[in-house]
Amino acid sequence: MVTRKKDKSSSSRQQPEPEAAADYVQAAAARLVKVTAITAISFALYEGANSVLLDHQNGREDAREIVSGYREGTISMTAVRLVVLLDADPNVISFQTIYRRLNRPEVVDVLVRRARDESLLEDQVEANIRASVARFLKTYRAIKWRDLHGRLQHFRNHGLAHLLPQPIKKRVSYAEIGSLVRSVTVMGECLVSFDPGGVPLRVDEIADWTDRAKSLWEAAFRGLKS
């Protein structure tokens, strides 16, 4: 029987060597942490503006129009950034491309070995990395990829990034966008293990940004009454 070398080489191309895969994770972590934070803040600003509109339904119409425009802009940017963060294209940086590497134990072992070599607290560093990876994988797998992510992509392609002649057939709710924002925020936190200088936005900070945004708009509405 003749060995099928073609299959072997094809598999090799699809699965980069552990060292190269680990390089990719470490190089991509910083950008993902940064864009994830911006995405979470965009959603928090939307929530703050939306809350003010609900509380001031009898407020000045011109002021409400401004806040409404701001609200729609922030939620649209949130949706666009979510699609970027969750992109399936193997040629771009996204949580999907990171997942394909962290889902391989041999890649995680390389990352752990490198971290241990650079730390005096080797056991603690290893435990932290493995816990972060486990949390990342759990969060990633909990996303409803075929349903929710599919609808988000459709809405983005037909209603945000392009003006296609076909009607928008699938949409996502604001609550569903919020759930995805929290998922990517958790995954962004997990990647800080590979971006020591990075400052992630934690899930609990989203509410703080929402409150700050709401307080700012509240002050603006009060100023209009004085």
Long-range contacts of 141-144 (CB under 8 A, 24+ apart): 142/183, 143/86, 143/180, 143/183
Q: What is the mean pLDDT of the chain?
A: 87
Contact 145, 183 (CB under 8 A): no
- Angle formed by the axes of helices 95-102 and 122-142, nearest 10°: 120
pLDDT digits 0-9 by tens, 172-211? 789 999 999 999 999 999 999 998 888 889 999 999 999 9
In this predicted structure, what is the pLDDT of residue 9? 42
pLDDT at 12 over 60: no
In the predicted model, what is the mean pLDDT of residues 124-142? 96
In this predicted structure, what is the pLDDT of residue 6? 43
Output the pTM of the full model.
0.86
115: its two tokens: 């971290």
pLDDT at 48 over 90: yes
